[in-house]
Amino acid sequence: MFPLRPLVSSLCVLSLAATACGGGYGAAPPATSAPPAATAAPTATRAPTPTSPPTATVAMALGGPTAAPTPAPTATARPSPALTPAATATSAPAATPTPGGATPAPSGTGDYDYGPAEGSATPTPGAAPPAGHDVEISFQEWSVGISGMAHAGQVKLLIRNQGRFPHSFAINAGGQVRQLGSNVAAGGSGELTLALAAGEYTLWCPLPGHRERGLEAKLQVQ
């Protein structure tokens, strides 16, 4: 049988040691407090809702000037470029018809188609020509007029075109044909000085077809 006294002494020593360490043997350690609660995540901040600009009514309520509404720009139609009118052919003015009823038309060589001639009469000396001239010779469609008197020697001729078409002048002077250097337009005149002996001389318009239509006459030189 074991001795009890040493056993009891050992138990007492163990009991004292447990008390000195914070409690009796077998006592539960004090409960540890729970860790602090986790911090809540920051809530996302909602972006501010854009506010519409103050209207004219709000401005009036606040006592400010009423803003006139800005009209929407109106699309302006661009003017269409003006069309250039197409060039129209202009007909040439009709020539004055000849006494025979035919209308003269220029040919490819510069001649005129005057139609048939009505005939002409040989003129006789008439009134005196303008001063400085001995004889005045006038052409028209289709006759020749002569005024004045030519004397042998230097004869000054005044040629007038009293017709509607160009004319010219030619004369057979002793077998030699003398004529103006250019045509005489309607209403115009030309001059020519010739040395002529006494006699009869044939004169005419040298333009094509004019002599055949009657522009021919006789000049008497005394």
The residue count of the chain comes to 222
Strand order from edge to edge, sheet including 189-196: 143-148, 135-140, 153-161, 189-196
Is residue 174 very low, low, confident or very high in pLDDT (cuts 50, 70, 90)? confident
Contacts of 121 (CB under 8 A, 6+ apart): 143
Is residue 11 very low, low, confident or very high in pLDDT (cuts 50, 70, 90)? low
Report which of residues 13 and 203 the model is more confident about.
203
In whole numbers, what is the pLDDT of the chain averaged over residues?
Answer: 66
Report which of residues 193 and 61 the model is more confident about.
193
User: Highest mean pLDDT range out of 82-96, 120-134, 192-206?
Assistant: 192-206
Handedness of CA 9, 11, 14, 20 (dihedral sign): negative
Q: What is the mean pLDDT of residues 136-162?
A: 93
According to DSSP, the residues that pair with 161 across neighbouring strands are 139
Is residue 4 very low, low, confident or very high in pLDDT (cuts 50, 70, 90)? low
Q: What is the mean pLDDT of residues 165-188?
A: 92
User: What is residue 151's predicted lDDT score, i.e. its pLDDT?
Assistant: 93
- Decide if pLDDT at 146 tops 70: yes
- Decide if pLDDT at 69 tops 60: no
User: What is residue 99's predicted lDDT score, i.e. its pLDDT?
Assistant: 37
According to DSSP, the residues that pair with 176 across neighbouring strands are 173
> Can you list the domains of the chain with their CATH numbers?
135-221 (2.60.40.420)
**pTM tops 0.85:** no
Report which of residues 24 and 209 the model is more confident about.
209
According to DSSP, the residues that pair with 184 across neighbouring strands are 167
Lowest mean pLDDT among 8-12, 122-126, 140-144: 122-126
For residues 183 and 107, the answer to whether their CB atoms sit within 8 Å is no
User: What is residue 132's predicted lDDT score, i.e. its pLDDT?
Assistant: 62
Report which of residues 22 and 100 the model is more confident about.
22
User: What is residue 133's predicted lDDT score, i.e. its pLDDT?
Assistant: 78
User: Whole-angstrom Cα distance, residue 158 to residue 210?
Assistant: 19
- Decide if pLDDT at 135 tops 50: yes
User: What is residue 175's predicted lDDT score, i.e. its pLDDT?
Assistant: 86
User: Highest mean pLDDT range out of 1-10, 88-97, 136-145?
Assistant: 136-145
